[in-house]
Structure 1
């Protein structure tokens, strides 16, 4: 009994011991080895041409609090006196990838700059040449006239795991070589208007000025480029996003060899598959990318992809969210034939698509809402009218009917709005008002069916459900 009591007290004593420093990662050697290759980047622009996110604003254009102005030595002037205009500066970070002077940063750090200045760890300040810059991936490749420079070690972002420790070195608010650490919170994050980058999400403290700086793993290898933060205040809130180094180096290699970046292009407008749409298309779970529109003359159109197809796999990679598809397609070299697995009408099919080159101007024009004319009622409790030639031309819609009035009922529950053009219902093409009434009269009850609409020029599918009477 006495021995047992001693053992219990010994266990309690061990549990009460503080966590030793040896149990936590030691960043000291990593910082000493890697920080000499991290640089501060500033840009000069003509007065009046300052871009967003300069040294005195947050990422959304928010003004940085007064306390930071002293450190930037902002010019003082009396109230009512107009300040003298100077060439504004945009502070950011970057890192050297070759000892002959090539370095990486963000596109938005150097965008619209007349001059780019790089300050090295040894306090030398050199003017950089912009070899190339890619807005879609937010990557810029610079070159300074120097040699025998310290360089970073490059890792592989695809080997990162969620929960892994990572560390950032940069110049937040202009404070050179600031070090912050955290963990990988998630991978393959899709952000709004950032279609071609599968971001690494971390909880590393990133602030204005960190943009373009490296994200390291514990091996001292760069695995990402810090690019964006989620913020409501202009400062760090625990959500930071980095461009995977695998993506960045592919872009850098293309910028170095050809001066621009080419990406694969499928030529479809897609949307997410929710639970009701999954049920209406006969899927086991809400997954994949639903094709809302196939662009005329695109690789997808040539390969026979149809509106209403659900793309489940691309080149063997599972498309879980619709945002996965642009990442997969963008990495494929144009001209290669890719295997696309779809579900059409409840049946699985495999198509071979020759991937094209992503156009520079790939956004569809937004158009005005139409003004309908002719009324007819149906089981959806909506009134529709024929689609005239003017609307067809403006909206690039070949057929369909226009929603004229929405009354309480299934149509309203599905989210239909006046001006929507219904082009497909339950897998059947809608060419005329008679087609629409015939198809709607045959709709099944108590289960959702897919309905394709075009709203202000943007195609999408929505689930429609007719309740039991």
Structure 2
């Protein structure tokens, strides 16, 4: 990690603890944070379409860092065919492409920190690690249907329904999957939301509906694999990784 990037975490903390963010109407908050919500995927010049959407992310820090879910990053990138990791900003059909690289990954909490070129973009502010409680109003903005119709972010709102362990107990050990067993060794609490999310929403910022500060990272795959494996018909429940793990990821990146 380059030396100038080491100051990024300090800048994130500065945006967190500086001037008080006044409460605002949700439409005003959406207008403010929309430029910070980006698509995450890959670009391959000879592929049609050349851009492939994998998930959503959001900009933080100095405007050159993006947070998303680790599972949206492809396991293999075809370097021989000039495929590259990329972030897409803008709105509508004219998306701007930002080459990206992985700065730090946290597979245990399904988070990844990316650094982009051709920035900076407008960053979002992170909430304190313990700022949210059950029952508080939240919203999340992302791309549930990808870039099929262009970059048009969609916002859902709801509340924090529960703060719950990532893995549900099983009455029979035979019903446990390998992924559940692995995650039982690294149990942590996640936010259960009453808003419905889709696979393209993975990595979307979940933010306080009054301040716009990020309280979590939406996760529509990683948590469900543990929480809803035993359900015959998975529910429309959505989950978010608490922002405290984003803070931890930034601290680890600073040490790197």
SS at structure 1 position matched to 2:250: helix
Q: TM-score, normalised by structure 2?
A: 0.67
The number of aligned residues is 195
Alpha carbons 2:41, 2:51 under 8 Å: kept: no
Query: Alpha carbons of 1:174 and 1:203: their partners in 2 closer, same or farther (altered >3 Å)?
Result: same
**Structure 1: which 5+ residue stretches go unaligned?**
1-24, 46-74, 76-85, 259-469
- Which of the pair has more CA radius of gyration? 1
d(CA) in 2 for partners of 1:177, 1:118: 14
CA drift of 1:186 comes to 0.7
Q: What is the correspondence of 1:177-188 to structure 2 with a 5 Å cutoff?
A: 177-188=153-164
CA contact (8 A) 2:129 2:247 kept: no
Unaligned runs of 5+ in 2: 1-23, 78-83, 168-179
Q: Given the two structures, how large is their TM-score scaled by the length of structure 1? A: 0.38
Aligned to 1:60: none
CA RMSD of aligned residues (A): 2.9
Q: Distance in 1 between matches of 2:63 and 2:51?
A: 29
Q: Which residue of 2 aligns with 1:93?
A: 56
- Does residue 102 of structure 2 align to residue 130 of structure 1? yes
The whole-number CA distance in structure 1 between the counterparts of 2:129 and 2:195 is 16
Question: Displacement of 1:42 after TM fit?
Answer: 1.1
- Counterpart for residue 254 of structure 1: 252
Counterpart in the other structure of 1:295: none
Could you say if the C-alpha distance between residues 251 and 30 of structure 1 is closer, same or farther in structure 2, counting changes exceeding 3 Å? same
Question: In 2, distance between residues paired with 1:39 and 1:88?
Answer: 14
Alpha-carbon contact 2:158-2:195 (below 8 Å) kept: yes
CA contact (8 A) 1:43 1:116 kept: yes
Q: 2:15: which partner in 1?
A: none
Q: Which moved more, 1:201-210 or 1:147-156?
A: 147-156
Matched, 1:240 2:238: yes
> Which position in structure 2 is the counterpart of 1:356?
none
Equivalent in 201, 210, 224 of residue 192 of structure 2: 201
1:88-129 deviations in Å (ceiling 9; x for gaps): 945200001023401111110114142211111252111101
Partner of 2:29: 30
Once residues 120 and 88 of structure 1 are traced to their aligned partners in structure 2, the CA distance between those partners, rounded to angstroms, is: 13
Q: Which has the higher contact order (CA 8 A, sep 6+)?
A: 2
State the 1:249 CA deviation.
Answer: 1.8
Q: Secondary structure, in 3 states, of the residue corresponding to 2:121?
A: coil
Which residue among 128, 132, 136 is the counterpart of 1:164?
Answer: 136
Structure richer in helix, relative to its length: 2
CA displacement 1:431-450 (0-9 Å, x = unmatched): xxxxxxxxxxxxxxxxxxxx
Provide closer, same or farther for how the CA distance between residues 116 and 236 of structure 1 changes in structure 2, counting only shifts above 3 A.
Answer: farther
CA contact (8 A) 1:42 1:118 kept: yes
Separation in 2, partners of 1:228, 1:180: 14
Matched, 1:112 2:75: yes
